[in-house]
């Protein structure tokens, strides 16, 4: 690992086969908010950047709405290589990639880590989670010995197949902006807090 970039890794034989490249995190190394997804999909694998496909558009739109532009946050994944047929990364693969994620968290030292979906939520909290129910909840957890604030969020893709999850997603991203101290005067004129009441 060179800074936050993994340039060569062969820890997961199946993923080495299925990936076309390693997809590192993107965004400033001092970002206040770190979004953690599951792993690269087809678009991410071909472009070499996390959340650039349909899920990425959902995320980008909501980031913009709350005044948290994509360029100002860091976005990464639990595993950096695309699993075959978009299956979930298995426990061994998650563990193999964990040191890279921990190093990224340590270097960034974010105000809040937002877990996008079940896999990153359970991976970072170290317990099973009902993400739809728990979305919007903040939990403090030790990651590599340091207490970190984790905000549970549904995966942006969940809003594409279940519209009822859109408001949960939107509210949680607003909470992320609030926790990072970002206000969006353009949309609410009141520093961000009161928007929660609109949903
Ligand atoms: N879904 C994820 O979990 N990560 C990505 O990078 C893209 C889609």
Question: Which domains are present in the chain?
Answer: 30-181 (3.40.470.10)
Atom in ligand 1 nearest the alpha carbon of residue 55: 8
Contact 1, 102 (CB under 8 A): no
**What's the rounded Cα separation, in Å, for the pair 48 and 109?**
24
How do strand 74-77 and strand 112-116 relate by DSSP bridges?
unpaired
Ligand 1 centroid to Cα of residue 36, in Å, is: 9
Contact 46, 88 (CB under 8 A): no
What's this model's pTM, rounded to 2 decimal places?
0.92
Atom in ligand 1 nearest the alpha carbon of residue 37: 3
- Per residue in 5-56, pLDDT (tens digit) is 999 999 999 999 999 999 999 999 999 999 999 999 999 999 999 999 999 9
Pocket perturbation via mutation, ligand 1, pick of 20, 23, 56 by most ligand atoms within 8 A of CB: 56
Ligand 1 centroid to Cα of residue 82, in Å, is: 9
Ligand 1 centroid to Cα of residue 73, in Å, is: 15
- Per residue in 52-93, pLDDT (tens digit) is 999 999 999 999 999 999 999 999 999 999 999 999 999 999
Query: For residue 175, what are the CA distances in angstroms to 115, 117, 146, 167, 184?
Result: 13, 16, 22, 12, 12
Which amino acids bring their CB within 6 angstroms of ligand 1? 37-41, 44, 50-51, 53, 55, 77, 116
195: which DSSP letter? G
**What's the rounded Cα separation, in Å, for the pair 85 and 9?**
20
175 three-state secondary structure: helix
């Amino acid at each position: 690992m060179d800074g936050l970039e993994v340039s060569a890794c062969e820890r997961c034989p199946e993923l080495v086969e299925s990936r076309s490249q390693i997809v590192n995190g993107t965004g400033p190394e001092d970002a206040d908010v770190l979004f953690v997804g599951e792993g690269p999909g087809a678009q991410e694998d071909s472009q070499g950047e996390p959340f650039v496909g349909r899920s990425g558009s959902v995320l980008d739109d909501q980031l913009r709405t709350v005044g948290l532009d994509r360029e100002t946050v860091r976005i990464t994944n639990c595993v950096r290589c695309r699993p075959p047929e978009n299956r979930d990364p298995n426990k061994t693969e998650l563990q193999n990639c964990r040191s890279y994620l921990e190093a990224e968290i340590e270097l960034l030292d974010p105000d809040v880590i937002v877990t996008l979906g079940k896999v990153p939520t359970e991976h970072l909290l170290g317990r099973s989670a009902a993400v739809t129910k728990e979305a919007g909840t903040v939990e403090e957890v030790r990651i590599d010995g340091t207490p970190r604030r984790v905000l549970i969020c549904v995966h942006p893709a969940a809003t594409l197949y279940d519209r009822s999850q859109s408001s949960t997603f939107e509210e949680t991203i607003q909470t992320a902006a609030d926790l990072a101290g970002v206000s969006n005067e353009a949309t609410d004129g009141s520093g961000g807090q009161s928007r929660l009441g609109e949903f």
